[in-house]
Amino acid sequence: MKIVVCIKQVPETNDVTIDPKTHNLDRRGLAGVMNPFDKNAVEQALQFKATTDAQVVLLSMGPDDYAQSLREGMAMGADSGVLLSDRAFAGADTLATGYVIAKAIEKIGDVDLVIFGRQAVDADTGQVGPIVAEFLQQPQITYAATLRLSGPNEVTAERLLEDTKQTLVAQLPAVVSVRSELNPPRYPTPRNIQLSFEKPLTIWHHDDLDLDDSRLGQAGSPTIVTKVYAPKPVKRELTPLTGTPQEAASQLIKALKDRQLL
Amino acid sequence: MSTRNTAAEKLLLQMVDDYTAREVAPLDMAIDHAQDYPEGFMKKLTETGFLGLMLPQEFGGAEFGPEVTATVLNHLARGNASTAVTLEGHFKTIDQILKFGTPALKQALLPSANQRIFAFSMTEASGGSNPMGISSTATREGDHWVINGDKIMITNGGLAQVYCVLVKTAPDQLSVFVVDQDMPGFSFGKREDFIGLRGTPVGEIMMDHIIVDDDHLLGHLGDGGLIGDSAHDDARILMGAVLTGIMEHELKIATDYAKERKAGDKPLTELQVTHRKVADIAMRKETTKLLYQRAAQLKAAGQPYSEEAAMAKAHGSRAAVAAGDDALQILAGYGYSREYPVEHLIRDARAMEIAEGTVEKMRSAIATAEFQK
C-alpha cells in the first residue's frame, strides 16, 4: 500500500498580514511550521503503516525551505518526501496548486490513498484536497474525524460537519481530508529527527513533471482576491432524506424543484 | 556547523518548544504543589525520546552535542525547571559512563539509558563537598566487590534505576561503581522534602552487601575524585541552562504583568522603577546564557571547561534568585501569592546555589583557577 500525505508549511505566528496590493497573505520573513491539521494526516498514515506496512510519502509544494516540514514529517515516521519547487509554481491559487500536486501524485504512481489536513491555517480554504481528487478522478471524503481501512480496497470515515455526522465509504484509490479530532499526532523524537536526514527527500522542478504551462502559477490561477473579511456564520436548515435510496432521490428532486433549482 | 546539523537542531528545538508548551508548562504549578510529576508524565517524556538526547546513536540515542543538550534543557526549564533538572541528573551520569566506562560497560548499560533514568550519587550524611569524608565502601572479596553504605540527596533518587556510586576502595582511595536498583541488597530510603524543584525527586539509597564484579567499576580504582569532579562540571553547564530557562520564565511573567497593570493612572511599563527591574532581569538572563553556552562550546571543542561551568552555575543561580525577587516585586501581592508561579521559581533557583557544589565552592574553584593562570 502506498499513502501520500500532502502537507503545507505555514507561518509560525498568527500575526500574518495581508499584502495591500494583491490581497494575498504576506508570508515574507515569517518562520514556517507544518500546518497543524497536516500532522493529523501524517499521524493517520503512520498508524496505517504500523498495521499494513504501507509506504508513506510526504508531498509538499513551495520554496526550498518547505523541506523543513517534510523533514519533520519524516522524523514523525514517514518514509520519504517530495518537494515541488519551481518559480513557475509561484503565485498559484488552490486550483493551480491542486493541478501540480495531482500531477506529482500521478508521477509517484500506484498511490492507494492521499490524505490532506482539512485546511491550512494560513489561508483556511480547505480546497486543495477536493481539487486534487477531481484532477485524479478519485472519490473524496472531506472533514474525516475517524478513518479506517474497512476492506482490502476501501476506507470508511466519519465525516464531521457543523451539525451532522456522516459515515462514508470510499473505494481506493481515494482522497481524504482529516480533522484534528482524528488523533493526537505524535512528537518526532530527537533520535528520529537525526535519522530523518538519512531518508530520501526529492525535489521536483517544473521539468520533472508533465505539465500544461497555462495551468501554472499566477497565470493558471482564476482566483482574484478583491477583499478579505471574516464571513458571518450562516445557520442552514437541514432536511434529512429518508427511506430507500429511490425514495431519498425522489425527495431530493422534489426539494430542488420546490426551490426552483431544477 | 553543517547545514544538516543546523536543520536538525532547528527541528529539535521546534519540537521541544511545542512539547514544553503542551505537555510541561501547563503542569508547572501542579508539579510544585503536588511535589511530584503527575502519573504518566515521565512515561511520555521517555516515549518522546528525551532520555536519549545526548546518547550516541550506536546505543539508540540521538547524539546531539553538549551545546544542543544544554539548550534543550534551557527551553524545557521555561515550562518547568524540575523536569529539566531530572534530565540534567540523567545526562551528567551518562556522560561519565561515556567518558570513563569500558566498551563492555557501555554496551551493557547504555542501550537501556533511553528507557531508564541514571543517577550519580556522591553525598552522604557525613558531608557533601568533602568526598574523602564518605563512609561507603567497596571491599574486595575473592573475585568480586561487596558494596556497603548509604547515600543521600541524590537527584532522581527513587526515580532512577541505575546509580553510579562513589565509594572508598581503600582508606585514601575513591572509586565509582555502577549499581542497579534490582540488585540484592539495594533499597530506597526517604525522599527529601525540599522547598524548591519539588517535582525532581531527591532521595536516599541504601546499599547492604551488594555484590558486583569488576565490570561494574567505572574507570579505574582511584578514579573516584576525577569522575566526581567531571560529573560536577557537566552538571554545572546544564544547571546554567536550566537557570537561564527559569529567568526567561520570570522575565515573561514580569513583562506580561507590567504591560497590563497600572499604578495610579500610569501603566507599569512607563515607570522607571519597572524599567530598572526588567532590565536587570534581562541582563542576568543573558549573561547566564552566554556563560553556559561558552562552557558548552568549550566542552564540545574538547577544551577545559571546568571554570566556565562553575561560573555559569554560580552566576546563574544567584542571578535567577535575584531576578525572581525583582519579578515578585513587580507583581507585588500577586508575586507573593502561591497562586502565581514567581515564588516557586525563586525556590527552584535557590536549590542551584547549593546543588552540584555550593556557590561558595564555585567561587573558590574559579579563584583558584585564576591564581593558576
Measured distance CA(A168)–CA(A145) in Å, rounded: 11
Tens-digit pLDDT profile for residues B190-218: 999 999 999 999 999 999 999 999 999 99
A251 contacts A242 by C-beta, under 8 angstroms: yes
3-class SS of residue B92 = helix
* CB < 8 Å to A197, chain B: 4, 7-8
Mean pLDDT of B37-53: 97
C-alpha cell at A88: 513557475
Question: Which residue in A72, A187, A193 is closest to B62 by CB distance?
Answer: A193
CATH 3.60.110.10, applies to B226-371: no
Residue A262 in any domain: the answer is no
Do the bridges between strand A9-11 and strand A140-151 make them parallel or antiparallel, or are there none, so unpaired?
Answer: unpaired
Most distant CA pair in chain B: distance in Å?
Answer: 81
Supply the pLDDT for residue A226.
Answer: 79
B2 contacts B165 by C-beta, under 8 angstroms: no
Q: From residue B58, how far is each of A262, B85, B98, B110, B208 by CA, in Å? A: 69, 25, 12, 9, 34
Measured distance CA(A20)–CA(B168) in Å, rounded: 75
Asked if A197's CB is within 8 angstroms of B8's CB, the reply is yes
What is the nearest CA distance from A167 to chain B, expressed in angstroms?
A: 32
ipTM: 0.94
Supply the pLDDT for residue B128.
Answer: 61
Tens-digit pLDDT profile for residues B268-290: 999 999 999 999 999 999 999 99
- Residue that is written with C-alpha cell 499584502 in the block: A19
Mean pLDDT of B286-312: 98
The residue of chain A nearest to residue B44, with distances taken between CA atoms, is A187
Mutate to test the interface with B, among A34, A195, A197 (most CBs of B within 10 A): A197
Residue A236 in any domain: the answer is no
B160 contacts B90 by C-beta, under 8 angstroms: yes
Asked if A194's CB is within 8 angstroms of B63's CB, the reply is yes
Query: B118-224 and B226-371 share one CATH topology?
Result: no
Residue A173 in any domain: the answer is yes
Of the listed ranges A72-81, A92-101, B148-157, B362-371, the one predicted with least confidence? A92-101
Supply the pLDDT for residue B353.
Answer: 97
At residue B154, φ and ψ (nearest 5 deg) are -90, 120
**Residue whose C-alpha is closest to residue B349's, from B211, B197, B192, B136:** B197
C-alpha cell at B203: 532521595
Contacts of B170 (CB under 8 A, 6+ apart): none
**Residue whose C-alpha is closest to residue A31's, from A1, A90, A72, A85:** A72
A69 contacts A37 by C-beta, under 8 angstroms: no
B71 contacts B88 by C-beta, under 8 angstroms: no
Q: What is the pTM of this model?
A: 0.90
Measured distance CA(A115)–CA(A133) in Å, rounded: 10
CA angle B33, B35, B36 (to 5 degrees): 120
Class of domain B3-114 (CATH, top level): mainly alpha
At residue A65, φ and ψ (nearest 5 deg) are -70, -5
What is the nearest CA distance from A207 to chain B, expressed in angstroms?
A: 27
* CB < 8 Å to B7, chain A: 67-68, 71, 197
Measured distance CA(A114)–CA(A177) in Å, rounded: 8
Measured distance CA(B351)–CA(B194) in Å, rounded: 9
Asked if B19's CB is within 8 angstroms of A68's CB, the reply is no
* CB < 8 Å to A193, chain B: 8, 11-12, 15, 62
Residue A237 DSSP symbol? P
A145 contacts A86 by C-beta, under 8 angstroms: no
- Residue that is written with C-alpha cell 531530572 in the block: B86
Residue range of the domain that includes A52: 2-231
Helices and strands in chain B, H and E counts: 11, 10
Is residue B356 annotated as a catalytic residue, yes or no?
A: yes
The total of other beta-carbon atoms located within 10 Å of residue A107's CB is 14
Residue A258 in any domain: the answer is no
Measured distance CA(B84)–CA(B134) in Å, rounded: 28
Class of domain B118-224 (CATH, top level): mainly beta
Contacts of A132 (CB under 8 A, 6+ apart): A6, A98, A101, A102, A105, A114, A116, A175
Question: Which residue in B8, B18, B50 is closest to A193 by CB distance?
Answer: B8
- What are the structural domain ranges in chain B? 3-114, 118-224, 226-371
C-alpha cell at B55: 546518547
Supply the pLDDT for residue B2.
Answer: 66
Residue A249 in any domain: the answer is no
Sheet holding A55-61: strands in order across? A165-171, A154-160, A140-151, A174-178, A113-117, A2-6, A55-61, A80-84, A201-204
Contacts of A72 (CB under 8 A, 6+ apart): A33, A34, A188, A196, B11, B14, B15
* CB < 8 Å to A194, chain B: 8, 57, 62-64
**B318/A24: higher pLDDT:** B318
Residue A109 in any domain: the answer is yes
With 70 as the cut, is the pLDDT of residue B65 above it? yes
Tens-digit pLDDT profile for residues A166-225: 999 999 999 999 999 999 999 999 999 999 999 999 999 999 999 999 999 888 888 887
With 70 as the cut, is the pLDDT of residue B291 above it? yes
With 80 as the cut, is the pLDDT of residue A154 above it? yes
Residue A164 in any domain: the answer is yes
Consecutive H or E run containing A41: helix A36-52
Q: From residue A46, how far is each of A39, A152, A182, A188 by CA, in Å? A: 10, 18, 13, 12
Residue A233 DSSP symbol? P
With 60 as the cut, is the pLDDT of residue B1 above it? no
The residue of chain A nearest to residue B19, with distances taken between CA atoms, is A187
CB-side exposure of A262: number of CA atoms within 13 Å? Answer: 9
> Angle, to 10 degrees, between the axis of helix B3-19 and the axis of helix A67-76?
60
C-alpha cell at B296: 558548552
- The residues with which A59 forms a beta bridge, in sequence order, are A6, A82
With 70 as the cut, is the pLDDT of residue A139 above it? yes
Tens-digit pLDDT profile for residues A14-34: 666 677 776 666 666 667 889
Q: Domain tally for chain A?
A: 1
Domain of residue A149, CATH code: 3.40.50.620
Supply the pLDDT for residue B152.
Answer: 95
Asked if A255 reaches chain B (Cβ–Cβ under 8 Å), the answer is no
**B33/A32: higher pLDDT:** B33
What is the nearest CA distance from B284 to chain A, expressed in angstroms?
A: 28
The residue of chain A nearest to residue B58, with distances taken between CA atoms, is A191
Interface list for B 42-71 with A (CB within 8 A):
48-50, 52-53, 57, 60-64
Asked if A20 reaches chain B (Cβ–Cβ under 8 Å), the answer is no
- The residues with which B354 forms a beta bridge, in sequence order, are none
